[in-house]
Structure 1
Amino acid sequence: MDAAFDHSRPGPARAGLDRLRLMWRRGRVRRFRAVGLLCLLASLLVLGVALVPAIFPITSLMVPLLLGSLVLNPRQLPWFVAWIVVLATTTLVLQQEVSTRIVAVAVIEALMVAIVLVTARRRSSLGVAGNTGESMFVDLRDRLLNQGGIPSLPPGWLVESALRSASGTPFAGDFLVATVLDDDTRLEVVVVDVSGKGDAAGTRALLLSGAFGGMLGSLAPQDFLRAANDYLMRQGWEEGFATAVHLSLDLRTGRFAVCSAGHPPAVQRHSGSGRWAVLPSAGPVLGLVDEAEFEVAEGVLGPGDAVILYTDGMVERPRRDIEMGLDRMLGQAETLLRGSFVGSAERLVSSLGSPDDDRAMVVVHRR
């Protein structure tokens, strides 16, 4: 005998729909609560200006205006600004005498209203309030930095990374992406230099870091730069080119392969001789040549050996040849890395390169 169906209990679809309706209503309540509180604050300030002008100056209305520009969305803000204009006009009309000070206050308030409206119009393309847009921007920055983090490696290996932006912010045209694959037996690292520098290149770096992070490890090492080049060719950017160097390292044997796309060459330190060797890998810049091919440099990292990947900001300066910059970097590396590789990337980035260019470095050391 079939069990009777209980019509009093909502099904999963009905329960999910009710939950969405509840969340939507709560969101509307929060949005209208913010508008109501700001309107109440503005009204109380107008009352204070009318009753106690010695304590509440006329410019007090600028406080709720600025708060509204931070917390209200682009659809609510124009109506709130209109309400502020009405209150400010009423306050000015109620003044007993029109002095030069009152005229100056009126001009300042009108200027502030214009600034808020222009800012709101620029933010309307996002459709979010000011603080929400900034939070989204911070979240994107954190994701870029997290993708550039080096995963934990098996014992016997040390990887150091460092990044400096020309603008002094976490956004830069240089970035790196790293991952460990095949049950902690293979390390994949790519260091990229996007055209431009600082904040101007930050948006392209964010997009490319996500795309390259998806490709890295999903493709065979020899196919990564070709896929990255195809991706950039499809974007159709006017300044959409980038240089990159890709390292694939077997953590069991120390065997590695390095591919470069218009990027300064990686260098290897041999612990036995203490000498640095340039790894001769070459290829065209990403995003300029269709169906490009990239030369591969192979080698082995023995105990004490190291490989350094870096961007051109580490070796290039105005009026100085890149070869001279590379020689200076290797000489500094020999001095700073003597005895310990811990913190090596930070020390090298801090002491080398041009402060007017983005700088990035990765140091891989086998202990």
Structure 2
Amino acid sequence: MEVHSEVLARRRLTTRLQRYLRSHPTAIWTRAVQPTTAALLCGGVLVTTVAMGAWPDVLPFSSLIPFAVLAGLLLRPGLLAVVDAVIMACATVVALARTDGDLLVYLNALVVLAVVMVIMFTVATSRARLGVQGTLGETMLVDLRDRLRTQGELPDLPREWGAEQCVLSAYGDSFSGDFVVTSKTDGYLEIALVDVSGKGVAAGTRSLLLSGAFGGLLGSMPVDRFLPAANAYLLRQQWDEGFATAVHAFVDLETGAFSIGSAGHPPVARFSAGSGRWQMLEAVEGPVLGVNEGVGFPRTTGLLQRGDALLLYTDGVIETRNRALGDGIDRMLGTAERMITRGFEGMAERMCVSARAGETDDRAAVIVWRR
């Protein structure tokens, strides 16, 4: 009994420590690690300065630049200013001590060092505005990117069903204005493909926020209420560029019945195994999200037989400058027709890669088929 109590006590202590570390990582970094890091950097600068005076032919003047870069990466602006002042003072002493050389060369080196300090101070100030220090900013961005990708992963489907998705951002950026959210509950599959205004990194923050919100709505309300709820959420944000287009697909995995709702989005393409052809679903398109209140979003229903498929995509797949939208749709369907003999696997990625707009726009495609 006493051993069990000790184990519980240790667990409680560990839990409290973990909670504190999770809720106060920046505080710990600022109060303990950062001053120690600043002191170590200053000590390293002083040692390097003495060594530069003792062995001028071995240690060049640029030996102080790495300290300025490390300080900019690891320290908050207040401590960074102190370390930079120490570095500049030591650099000035070294420059004056080497009067036997070309003084103009050392003056130029001091200017280069000062420029590096200004750049790193700007980086540190930007991180301080975000409330992160050191490399936490990059870690946070990587975590946000991974979360955005995870929310777009398709769930495991029954054996008679298949699905793939592909999202490519403009110019290969890590963040995209296009995103996918999915939900599978009680034998029903829901997919929302959203195209946020803007592209690449500029739309990435809005995509992240909306993907979390839309992921919470998906599967938690009646099908015909998803797009109105998404529209209301966007209106509440009051963004200057707060509109988005979306297509919402609902599929009954038992019967193959489906329902499609569109908010200013390109029409969904359907493959019919009976005719062996792709065709666009004729549907009444609702308005874009985030513009008008109290608007309706009509839905189109149908039935997927064995061998049929639905293709959802964003405008980056079909749009390009100086070309009609119909031309882009015909080109996409032509690519799909040529690939159908090899099956639907890999088709979503091929649609994005072969888009006429290339890397100048975000591209996303989702395909669902019944085997």
* Shared fold (TM-score, shorter chain, > 0.5): yes
> Is 1:181 paired with 2:181?
no
Contact 1:163 1:359 (C-alpha < 8 Å) held by counterparts? yes
1:110 matched to which residue of 2? 114
- Residue 231 of structure 1: how far off its partner (Å): 0.5
Contact 1:74 1:128 (C-alpha < 8 Å) held by counterparts? no
- Residue 330 of structure 1: how far off its partner (Å): 1.1
1:289 matched to which residue of 2? 292
> Is 1:358 paired with 2:362?
yes
- Residue 18 of structure 1: how far off its partner (Å): 7.8
1:68 matched to which residue of 2? 71
Alignment of 1:7-22 (within 5 A): none
Q: SS state of the match for residue 231, structure 2? A: helix
2:123 matched to which residue of 1? 119
- What is the distance in 1 between the residues matched to 2:40 and 2:131? 22
Alignment of 1:130-149 (within 5 A): 130-149=134-153
**Which residue of 213, 218, 221 maps to 1:219?**
221
- Residue 266 of structure 1: how far off its partner (Å): 0.7
Alignment of 1:189-228 (within 5 A): 189-228=191-230
Q: 1:281 to 1:309 in 2, by over 3 A?
A: farther
2:272 corresponds to which letter in structure 1?
A: H
**Which residue of 237, 240, 245 maps to 2:239?**
237
1:325 matched to which residue of 2? 328
Q: SS state of the match for residue 167, structure 1? A: helix
**Which residue of 35, 38, 41 maps to 1:35?**
38
- Residue 239 of structure 1: how far off its partner (Å): 0.8
- Residue 119 of structure 1: how far off its partner (Å): 2.5
Q: 1:191 to 1:71 in 2, by over 3 A?
A: same
Larger mean CA deviation between 10-19 and 187-196 belongs to: 10-19
Q: 1:67 to 1:289 in 2, by over 3 A?
A: same
Cα deviation digits, residues 16-61 of structure 1 (max 9, x gap): 7788889989754433332232222212211111110111112211
> Is 1:312 paired with 2:323?
no
Q: SS state of the match for residue 171, structure 2? A: coil
**Which residue of 338, 341, 347 maps to 1:338?**
341
Runs of 5+ in structure 2 lacking a partner?
none
Higher helix residue share: 2
Contact 2:196 2:203 (C-alpha < 8 Å) held by counterparts? yes
Cα deviation digits, residues 144-193 of structure 1 (max 9, x gap): 111111111111111011111112123111111112112xx011100011
Q: SS state of the match for residue 299, structure 1? A: strand
**Which residue of 240, 256, 274 maps to 2:258?**
256
1:348 matched to which residue of 2? 351
Q: SS state of the match for residue 81, structure 1? A: helix
2:267 matched to which residue of 1? 265
> Is 1:275 paired with 2:277?
yes
- Residue 282 of structure 1: how far off its partner (Å): 1.1
Contact 2:76 2:125 (C-alpha < 8 Å) held by counterparts? no
Contact 1:212 1:228 (C-alpha < 8 Å) held by counterparts? yes
**Which residue of 146, 162, 176 maps to 1:158?**
162
* Percentage of matched positions with identical amino acids: 43
Contact 2:95 2:103 (C-alpha < 8 Å) held by counterparts? no
Q: SS state of the match for residue 237, structure 1? A: coil
**Which residue of 47, 50, 69 maps to 2:50?**
47
Runs of 5+ in structure 1 lacking a partner?
1-5
- What is the distance in 1 between the residues matched to 2:245 and 2:76? 40
**How many pairs does the alignment contain?**
358
Contact 1:73 1:127 (C-alpha < 8 Å) held by counterparts? no
- Residue 332 of structure 1: how far off its partner (Å): 1.2
